[in-house]
């Protein structure tokens, strides 16, 4: 553990320098890690663990596109690719990476194989925090931990291959072995996390649902579409409206924020831009604080969870989501995006 100052607050974090890969391998040397689910997070975590030298198998329901994808990625049926049930039986460290709604459906099978000495690992606090709605009551004789990479599975794999990493949170819900925290940290290092910070299942899911509905996705697309439409209503061309709203954001400014912070990005823009942005920042903040407060309330009350469980448990949930995403892609701003991307100079 290293103590790091974040502003005025001190936090203990775990770096890969402090918790090395060889220590991680040693910690999990007797475990068969079963990654259950080969959707978005599953492939990234399973492949990273395999490349890091862990004993890992994949559990995936047969006959679906995810099963085929696992085979394309080199997992062999009967060797290290199994049905969900078989993987639950063979695995000792079960990492539950089905969709949050899928986890509810398959829980009776997983629970059956959670015998004494096994570990159950999640990448989201959803199932456990909203247990009254998910019905997932944990058996009290197993370790239950969480390792949640703070990024899409695509980035978890991509950055691992670049020898970088996505930061992840970790938590221990049940520690029967007395070694649950070490196991969680070892798993986190194995999947190639950047640094690991401590959380609880509840804090993880509250912050995660708020983040994705807010700044990371919902608010991001919402304010982009709002600004684009106002520019268009005022006679600006699609190209101009898109460049001033999205292309400059993603290609120029956000990378600067990632590199050295918001104030540094501001300081590298014109003084005209700085003056105006500093004036308008508090107005946007004031306008959106009530929205964020009501979002957090909806997360904490379980309203968001109930909606996700109901919607994403429907047999045609994927089709319905895809239809809404297609409608998004057809809105002018995102169509213009496709055209603008094609015009980017070849690298
Ligand atoms: N997406 C991310 O990058 C990300 C980031 C951080 C944490 N997480 C967490 O990681 C976990 C996995 O997320 P994900 O995005 O990878 O999930 P996902 O892509 O939505 O999950 C799809 C997986 O769940 C299986 N599945 C869904 N319903 C099922 C059912 N009824 N029976 C059996 N299998 C079913 C799918 O199999 P089929 O293909 O056969 O339907 C597939 O293997 C979640 O807890 C999520 O919150 C995800």
What's the CATH code, domain 2-199?
3.40.50.720
Calculate how far, in angstroms, residue 42's C-alpha sits from the geometric centre of ligand 1.
7
pTM of the full structure: 0.92
Establish whether residue 87 lines the binding site of ligand 1, counting it when its CB lies within 6 angstroms of any ligand atom: no
3-state secondary structure of 341: helix
What is the mean pLDDT of each successive set of 10 residues along the chain, which is 347 residues long?
A: 83 91 97 97 97 98 95 97 98 96 93 96 96 93 97 94 93 97 97 94 97 97 98 98 98 96 97 98 98 98 95 90 97 97 86
Pocket test for ligand 1, best of 88, 102, 170 (most atoms within 8 A of CB): 102
Q: What is the pLDDT of residue 347?
A: 60
Nearest to 124 by CA among 110, 112, 134: 134
Measuring CA to CA, how many Å separate 164 from each of 151, 158, 194, 205? 13, 9, 7, 25
Q: What is the pLDDT of residue 8?
A: 84
Catalytic (active-site) positions: 124
Calculate how far, in angstroms, residue 345's C-alpha sits from the geometric centre of ligand 1.
36
Q: What is the pLDDT of residue 3?
A: 82
How many Cβ atoms sit within 10 Å of the Cβ of residue 317?
A: 16
Which ranges constitute the DSSP H helices of 162-313?
A: 180-190, 201-213, 218-233, 238-242, 248, 254-260, 262-267, 271-300, 303-312
Q: What is the pLDDT of residue 12?
A: 83
Residue ranges per structural domain of the chain? 2-199, 214-342
Check residue 165 and report its DSSP letter.
Answer: -
- The residue whose C-alpha atom lies closest to atom 27 belonging to ligand 1 is 102
- The residue whose C-alpha atom lies closest to atom 32 belonging to ligand 1 is 102
Q: What is the pLDDT of residue 5?
A: 84
Q: What is the pLDDT of residue 222?
A: 98
Establish whether residue 60 lines the binding site of ligand 1, counting it when its CB lies within 6 angstroms of any ligand atom: yes
Q: What is the pLDDT of residue 263?
A: 97
Establish whether residue 149 lines the binding site of ligand 1, counting it when its CB lies within 6 angstroms of any ligand atom: yes
Q: What is the pLDDT of residue 346?
A: 77
Calculate how far, in angstroms, residue 101's C-alpha sits from the geometric centre of ligand 1.
8
Q: What is the pLDDT of residue 1?
A: 78
- The residue whose C-alpha atom lies closest to atom 35 belonging to ligand 1 is 102
Establish whether residue 38 lines the binding site of ligand 1, counting it when its CB lies within 6 angstroms of any ligand atom: yes
């Amino acid at each position: 553990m290293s103590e790091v100052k974040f502003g005025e607050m001190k936090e203990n974090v775990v770096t890969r320098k402090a918790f090395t890969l060889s220590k991680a391998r040693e910690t999990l040397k007797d475990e068969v890690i079963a990654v259950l689910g080969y959707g978005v997070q599953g492939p990234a975590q399973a492949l990273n663990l395999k490349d890091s030298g862990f004993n890992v198998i994949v559990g995936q329901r047969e006959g679906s596109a995810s099963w085929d994808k696992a085979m394309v990625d080199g997992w062999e049926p009967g060797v290290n690719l199994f049905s969900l049930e078989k993987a639950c039986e063979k695995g000792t460290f079960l990492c539950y990476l089905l969709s949050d709604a899928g986890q509810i459906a398959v829980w009776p099978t997983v629970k059956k194989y959670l015998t004494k000495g096994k570990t159950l690992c999640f990448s989201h606090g959803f199932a456990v925090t909203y247990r009254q709605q998910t019905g997932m009551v944990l058996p009290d004789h197993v370790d239950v931990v969480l390792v949640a990479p703070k990024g899409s599975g695509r980035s978890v794999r991509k950055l691992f291959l670049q020898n970088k990493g996505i930061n992840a949170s970790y938590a221990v819900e049940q520690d029967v072995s007395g070694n649950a925290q070490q196991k969680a940290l070892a798993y986190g290092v194995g999947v190639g996390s950047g640094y690991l910070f401590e959380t609880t299942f509840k804090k993880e899911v509250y912050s995660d649902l708020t983040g994705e509905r807010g700044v990371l996705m919902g608010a991001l697309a919402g304010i982009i579409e709002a600004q684009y439409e106002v520019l268009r209503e005022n006679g600006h061309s699609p190209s101009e409206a898109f460049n001033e709203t999205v292309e400059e954001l993603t290609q120029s400014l956000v990378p600067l924020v990632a590199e050295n912070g918001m104030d540094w990005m501001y300081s590298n823009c014109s003084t005209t831009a700085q003056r105006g942005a500093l004036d308008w920042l508090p107005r946007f903040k004031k306008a959106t604080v009530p929205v964020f407060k009501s979002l957090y309330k909806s997360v904490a009350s379980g309203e968001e969870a109930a909606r996700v469980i109901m919607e994403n448990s429907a047999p045609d949930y994927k089709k319905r989501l895809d239809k809404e995403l297609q409608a998004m892609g057809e809105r002018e701003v995102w169509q213009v995006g496709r055209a603008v991307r094609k015009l980017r100079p070849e690298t």
